[in-house]
Structure formats: C-alpha cells, structure tokens
Chain A
Amino acid sequence: MSGPLVNATRFRAEHSADWERLDQLVTRLERKSLRSLSDDDLLDLPRLYRSTLSSLSVARDTSLDRSLLTYLEQLSTRAYFQIYGVQTSPGRQVLRFFARGWPLAIQALWRELLFCAVLTAASALAAFLLVRGDPDWFYGIIPQGMAAGRDPAASTAFLRGTLYGNERDGLMVFATFLFTHNAQIAIFAFALGFAFAVPSVLLITYNGLMLGAIFAVFAAHGLAHNLAGWLLIHGTTELLAICVAGAAGIRIGLALAFPGAAQRMEALVAAGRTAATAMLGAVLMLSVAGILEGVGRQTITDDGLRLLVGAVALAGWLLYFFLPRRTVDEAR
C-alpha cells in the first residue's frame, strides 16, 4: 500500500485548507457579525460548513486520530451555531417584541391576568372593609416605614398635604427607586411561579391588601377621590404591570402542576417563554409608570385630569394588548 499510512494523514492533506478557511470565517463571525464577511465569504460559508461536516462523519468512521476528531467536532459545532443558532438582528428582535411577541404573550395569559385583576380588587375591598371596621387592622397590613405617617391617626390636613403639597425634593429619585423596586418584585413574581405559583398569588394578594388599606385611611377623611387621582395616574399602569407579572408566575406554576397533554418539561418550556416575554413587558410598563409618577403627577395636580390620564393609559394598554392580531405561531 503506497501513500500515507493512516487515514488521518490523508484526510488532513486533502481537507485541511477548507477547515482552516472555515475556522477563520467562524472566528470572524464570533468576534464581529455577518457584515464583516465579504460576498465571496458568504457564498463559501455553507459549502465549507457542509464539507467540514462530511469530513467529521467520515473521520468518525474511518479515522482513529482522537485530536483530529476533537478538532472537527468543535469546528463543526461552532460553525453550526454561527449559521443556525444565531439571533436575528437586535433591532428586528425589538420590533418583533413590540409588534407581536409581547401582545401575543399577554393574550395567551388572559385567564391568569383576569384572575390577578379580580384577586387584586377582592383583596383591596377586603382590606378596605377591614380597616374601615377597625383601624387597627391597618398596622397589621402596612409596615410602618411605608406608611410614612399616613395612618389612621393622621389628620386630614396632613393627608391632604401628602397628595398636593409640592412634595419634597428628590421625588424623581424616589420614583426611580420605586420603579427598580417594583420591577424587581415583578421579576420575582415571575420566578416564584416555579414554586407552584403560590408565592406569586400571595404577592398579588398582599399588593391588593395594601391598596385597600391606604384607601380606607383616606376615605375616613373624605379624601378617597383625591387619593384615587394621586394614585391612579400611574397606578393603572403599575397595577396592570404587577398583575401581568403575577399572571406570568401563575402560568409557570400551572404548567408545572398541570401539564395537560404535553410532557411536563415541554409544557414548562412553552409556559416559561411566554411568561418571560410578558414579564419583560411588565418591567417596561413599570418604567412608564415611574415616568408618569415622577413627571406626570408633579405637573398635573387636578384630580379629574389625573384620573383621566390614568384611565387613558389603562385603555391604551388594553387596546394594545387585546387588539386582534394575526397569530402565526405562539408568542416567543
């Protein structure tokens, strides 16, 4: 037998130029992007990739050179992920998220969302009635730090001051802090869905309780509609966002507990991706709420206007989410 003794040698001699060229292209792709390749490179890429793949399968069956196999495996893998496993451009992804992904995810979650909204309303009503019946309940629901003096013992003048007084300096900072805090809670509500959604439900309930308790305090002084204006200008957006985050968590918990016809793992993955899209949207909504709170509430001090802004915002969100859209595939 003349020629090289073993297959690896023959193989290297015949194909290594192709492999090295593919290696260069893939490395360039990893470092930069598709735009860094010339037209010739782009035309060559699939050919080189396929020839490397076939080298790999042939080498596996005929060659015993371990390091050659390892090299071909890693090269093929890297090439595969650069060719098949790569995202569309960031710009297009953002566009798709707003045009389809986010609203479709919310539509897919409508039952859970409705449940969260009803739960919030019910727990708010319960807390309202409890605190009206016996003001001591208030201290059980709202921690001292958060109340900042707005408790059943406060005077009407003080309460009114908190609604209209040109509030202390650093309100923007405070609004920002509240946004990050709330967004963290939203992400948390999503993640806690993994514990069969129970903690997510508790978070939503507690949120409603606090709302009701605060309302009860102001209502006792006849300031209910003033508080409604102060709270709802951004509150409609904020409460909806928190409900969305809770709904996302509940969806994950439900998929885990009741996968239905699908396998548990598959149900969980489908739910996880839908819920994550919705949760990301909730974080965006909270940032809008933060702007409404920090800027809008400062500039608009009329109750009616405040309520109007809140109502318009809510109507806008609901229209955006639930306008019928062509469903091609599930929101991803």
Chain B
Amino acid sequence: MNAVAARRSVGSMRRHFVTPEGVDLQLSLGTAGARAGAFMVDALLMVALLVAVTLFLLYLRVKQLDQFLMILWLIGFFLLRNFWFVLFEMGRRGATPGKRLTGLRVVARDGDRLTGAAVVARNAMREIEIFLPLSFLAAQASEGLADSFLTIFALGWSGIFLFFPLFNRDRLRVGDLVAGTWVVEARREALSSDLVGEPRGHRRQFPEAALAAYGIYELQRLEQVLRGEQPAAVATVAHTIRDKFAIASDGDDYGFLSDFYAELCHRLEQGLMLGRCRQSKHNDT
C-alpha cells in the first residue's frame, strides 16, 4: 500500500481521474456549499445586470425606438436567463463568474473535452430545478391564495431537485446527471515556501522515542501549524511534544518545531524508501 492510496480516506470528495499520460490527478469535487454559493453569485449578477439594463432602457425612452427597445429587452432577458451559464461554461475555464469566484469548474465525467451539447443539457435542466418551483411560488404569491396542495407539491418538487446533489456521492445536479458532467475544484495555489531548506549545522537533537512516536498524519498536521504561524497553536504543539518526551524548553517554540518537523520528515521519508509507511501514531510500521 503506497502513500497515495492510503491518503484517500473513504467517502472523501476525491475521485480518480487518469490522464492519457497515466497519472491520476485525483480531482476534488466541489462541495455543495461552494456550488450553492456560486449559483447565488451568478443569480445576483444576472438580476443586477437585468435591473441595470432595464433602468438604462427606461432612461433612454426614445419614442420612435420604443418597440425596438422592447424587443431588445425581451430577447436580452431570454438570452440572459437561458444562456448566461452556457456561454461562460463553454469558455476556456469552464466556469461562470460565480464558479470562478468559488474556485470551481465544470468537467466532463469521462475526462473528455466538455462539449457544447453537454453544457446546454446541464443548464437547460435548471428549468425544472430552479425556475419552475420559483414560478410556482410567484404565481402563488400573485394570486394571494395559497392553494395548499399546490404549494406543498411545488416545495416538494423543488426540494427533491434542490437537494439532489446531497443525495449522491458525486454531488451531481440533475443537469450533471443528464449531461455527464461534474463540478470539480480548480483552485489556483501559489507554491509555498520550503519548511526545511538546506541542512544547517546546529539542528536540535531529539530523542529517538519522540521521532518514533509519530506518523505521516501528524507530520502533515505539524506542517499546517508551522505554515499557519499562529503563535498560540505553535506554542501549544511545542509544549505538548516537550511534555510528552521530557525535553527542556529553550524558549524558541517555532525553531523547535521546525527542527522537529525536519527530523521527522527526514526519518519518515527514509522509511518510505525502505517500504515502511507509517500513516499515523496509531499505526505500527
């Protein structure tokens, strides 16, 4: 069992995705929260655009152009409602502004290129997921009499489709289901600094017991703490390790931890080379 297979916890949001070169990219699926957030952003942008353009046209109000402007508005509204998502997702990033903001992109599930047909299919399905229940409710509100059966039906319907992504492992919308797509994380990350760097002559020495106590999981938690540079967290972790193995404090928590990290990392990597992979402190090699 290599380090990779072990890092994939069951039920995680990561999926195999093997490139033609034979490397598994292990894509992370977008979380339901990020997806909902992206949709909200897009919806707000669409409404804002619609309101702005409408106000602008009202402000123009040229008598001779009245009909023309009306036609323009109708066509514009139609295109905005149905093709906002399509046009953006067909671009090079495969993401609407909302998705871009939340670091998501649309991808074909089979690893193929995302075709126009797939993008149209996944977004046309939104009609029954979002707009139909909405128009139901709008009709209800305008009539002012809540026909309880219809309201319950509309709510039930929208509930099924709205929460559909939560009921399957791959967080698929009905549109994703029909189009064969899924939404994955496409974050941009900068390369963070090297925690260990070149060997220095005067590293702290640690007792064998301390280095033998931990595994890869603890090492990577320690990495998080060091990169986070929260004084409180650094102090707590350093204190814990010192207490556990009776090491005297030298007043430099951060230095202590980085040295400990370097030694532990070195040790575990050598273990990897020899085929010993220690996942966490609860595993024996």
User: CB within 8 Å of B: which of A1-40?
Assistant: 2-9, 12, 16, 19-20, 27, 29-30, 33
Flag whether A301 is at the interface (Cβ < 8 A): no
Partner of B198 from the list A9, A76, A81, A276 (CB cut-off 8 Å) is A9
In the complex, what residue of chain A is closest to B112 when comparing beta carbons?
A85
* A40 CA / B174 CA spacing, docked (Å): 43
User: Contact string, B1-40, partner A, CB cutoff 8 A, digits 1/0?
Assistant: 0111000000000000001110101110000000000000
Of the listed stretches A56-64, A147-155, A225-233, A314-322, chain B binds: A56-64
Flag whether A258 is at the interface (Cβ < 8 A): no
Most chain-A Cβ atoms within 10 A of its Cβ — which of B3, B23, B178? Answer: B178
* A86 CA / B116 CA spacing, docked (Å): 11
User: CB within 8 Å of B: which of A69-117?
Assistant: 70-71, 73-74, 76-78, 80-82, 84-87, 90, 93, 97, 101, 105
| CB pair B220 A268 closer than 8 Å | no
| CB pair B71 A173 closer than 8 Å | yes
* A78 CA / B82 CA spacing, docked (Å): 28
Number of interface residues of A (CB under 8 A): 82
| CB pair A87 B114 closer than 8 Å | yes
In the complex, what residue of chain B is closest to A271 when comparing beta carbons?
B178
Flag whether B45 is at the interface (Cβ < 8 A): no
Flag whether B210 is at the interface (Cβ < 8 A): no
* A169 CA / B25 CA spacing, docked (Å): 61
Closest Cβ–Cβ distance, residue B261 to chain A (whole Å): 9
With A6-B262, A64-B269, A188-B128 already in contact, the answer to whether A276 and B118 are too (CB < 8 A) is yes
* A234 CA / B152 CA spacing, docked (Å): 40
Chain A residues closer than 8 Å to B113, beta-carbon distance? 84-87
Closest Cβ–Cβ distance, residue B55 to chain A (whole Å): 19
| CB pair B269 A7 closer than 8 Å | yes
Flag whether A326 is at the interface (Cβ < 8 A): no
Chain A residues closer than 8 Å to B195, beta-carbon distance? 8, 65
| CB pair B196 A173 closer than 8 Å | no
Partner of B191 from the list A2, A19, A77, A90 (CB cut-off 8 Å) is A19
In the complex, what residue of chain B is closest to A90 when comparing beta carbons?
B90
Chain A residues closer than 8 Å to B4, beta-carbon distance? 60-61
User: Contact string, B48-89, partner A, CB cutoff 8 A, digits 1/0?
Assistant: 000000000000000000010011001101100010000000
Closest Cβ–Cβ distance, residue B208 to chain A (whole Å): 17
User: Contact string, B106-117, partner A, CB cutoff 8 A, digits 1/0?
Assistant: 011101111111
| CB pair B23 A9 closer than 8 Å | no
User: Contact string, A247-279, partner B, CB cutoff 8 A, digits 1/0?
Assistant: 000001000000000000100110111111101
Flag whether B281 is at the interface (Cβ < 8 A): no
Given A19-B191, A273-B115, 6 more contacts at CB 8 Å? Answer: A4-B199, A61-B2, A74-B187, A170-B67, A180-B74, A272-B178
Query: What are 29 A-B contacts with C-beta separation under 8 Å?
Result: A3-B199, A4-B199, A5-B196, A6-B265, A9-B198, A60-B3, A61-B4, A61-B272, A62-B272, A64-B3, A65-B195, A68-B191, A68-B192, A73-B25, A77-B27, A78-B188, A80-B19, A81-B94, A84-B111, A85-B111, A87-B90, A90-B90, A101-B117, A194-B128, A268-B177, A272-B121, A272-B178, A272-B180, A332-B117
A residues apposed to B, CB below 8 Å? 2-9, 12, 16, 19-20, 27, 29-30, 33, 50, 53-54, 56-57, 60-68, 70-71, 73-74, 76-78, 80-82, 84-87, 90, 93, 97, 101, 105, 169-170, 172-173, 176-177, 179-180, 183-184, 187-188, 190-192, 194-195, 252, 265, 268-269, 271-277, 279-280, 283, 331-332
